[in-house]
Amino acid sequence: MKANPIGGPRTDDTLLTGLRDVLVGPLPEIGRRFSLLLADLVPHTGLVIFTRECTGRPRKVAGDPTIVDRVTVAELDTLRGELGRGHRGLIYRGPATIGRRRREVCAILDQTETLLVLTPRGPLDDSAPLETVRGLIAVVATGIQLQVRQASPAYLAESRAASAERARTVSELTEAHAATLETILATLRSKDLDDAHARSTARETATSALVGLRSAVDQYRELAEEAVTTAFARLRGELRTLVRHRELELELVEPPVDGRALPGEVAHAARAVVRGAVLALSAQPNLTRIRVAWTCDRTHLVLDVRDDGGGEADVTDIERQLRERVETLGGTLESESTPGWGSRVTATLPLDPPATTNQRRDELAALGPREFEVLEHLVAGRRNRVIAERLGVSESTVKFHVARLLKKLGVDTRGEAAAVGAEAGVRAAP
């Protein structure tokens, strides 16, 4: 039996091919691709993947917009908590509140704490291959973790754009709802009103709504941000593993405990940059110590990595490996290698994204159709050779379009162009 990689009847071979295609595409579209892969295994009207790894978009969705567009983080967090009280890897079939009403769902909580929720198209019988689905989501969840941990420029740009947009939306809604509720409470507290019982009931309702609103904002911050000390603690564990089999001393200088919380994409990028720097520096001969220090104020996170080697590190190559990640977030990267004194890599990452301006939107409007297509592939993090293959043109033609769109956008690097595109809502090309 033959089938398309995604969609159509499934054999073991086509299932594995389809899973590969799910994993290699752009991360923001992984829900849609996974939904297509599961279409024959478990027919469904909606799919949601919920993971805390992706701070910009913790929900990856596909299917009926009247369901998936209404699913809230609070609903998913509640369902995951209920499943977690049993054991991870549990397959749940039954009613749950999804999309603001009770529905029959099939939910799986993976070992990575990634939650998969399906709304079946009809009743699920005992022959539904849910064990197969559990295995597939385990692989997909691990793939998401690896992509996030790698912190590619495309992922960082998309995550920052999503975080910034959601932060603006939450802030606007919070201010509007809080003002309305506080006005209602002030009115209800007035002694000039009659009917004390009705007034008391309404006051309790408004107070409860205000508390719920503030709790929702706190939950958003918990998802979108990471305490700087927590981010550094995770880095410590990663670095210990990285140099476990090397005779190398790691000196880790803790950030201040009162430092500002880090946006998720900044925390991911910071760890990826430090890991890359430590790995590159540790390749030098006769190296005994590497010092890693983070400092954080209200506006920037500064990463400082230095060694006690002979200054033999190829800092040009190190910058080539790390620069796109740093510049995608609007940061700066500096390095130096001094014979006899050692090498040093310093990255400075801003904690707040630059505001998207009308000028940026006008610059995007000036792009030609082919340049816009190339930009979509830059947002997806692809190199020129891959873009040329996808568009069916020569690599030199792609280089020409890249140079033109960099000039029109007023940026110097591909990473900056990807960030501008993602912030303006340009979708990564599939």
pLDDT greater than 70 at residue 174: no
Cα–Cα distance between 411 and 421 in angstroms, integer?
A: 11
pLDDT band at 366 (very low <50, low <70, confident <90, very high): confident
Residues 6 or more apart whose CB falls under 8 angstroms from that of 192 comprise none
pLDDT reported for residue 126: 77
Name the token pair of 319.
Answer: 């910058």
The percentage of residues in the chain with a pLDDT greater than 90, rounded to a whole number, is: 25
Q: Residue 3: is its pLDDT beyond 60?
A: no
Q: Give the mean pLDDT of 268-281.
A: 92
One DSSP character per residue, 80-142 reads: HHHHHTT-TT-EEEEEEEETTEEEEEEEEE-TTS-EEEEEESS---TTS-HHHHHHHHHHHHH
**In this predicted model, what pLDDT tens digit does every residue of 378-423 receive, in sequence order?**
888 888 888 888 888 888 888 998 998 888 888 888 888 887 887 7
Q: At what angle do helices 414-423 and 153-188 cross, to 10 degrees?
A: 30
Q: How far apart are CA 284 and CA 356, in angstroms?
A: 42
pLDDT at position 151: 80
410 against 205, higher pLDDT: 410
Ordered alpha helix ranges (H), 250-365: 264-281, 315-328, 358-365
Cα Rg, the chain, nearest whole Å: 25
pLDDT of residue 181: 66
- Residue 334 has a pLDDT of 93
pLDDT in tens, 34-75: 999 999 899 999 999 998 777 767 888 899 999 998 888 888
Helix (H) / strand (E) containing 200:
helix 196-224
Across 313-327, average pLDDT? 88
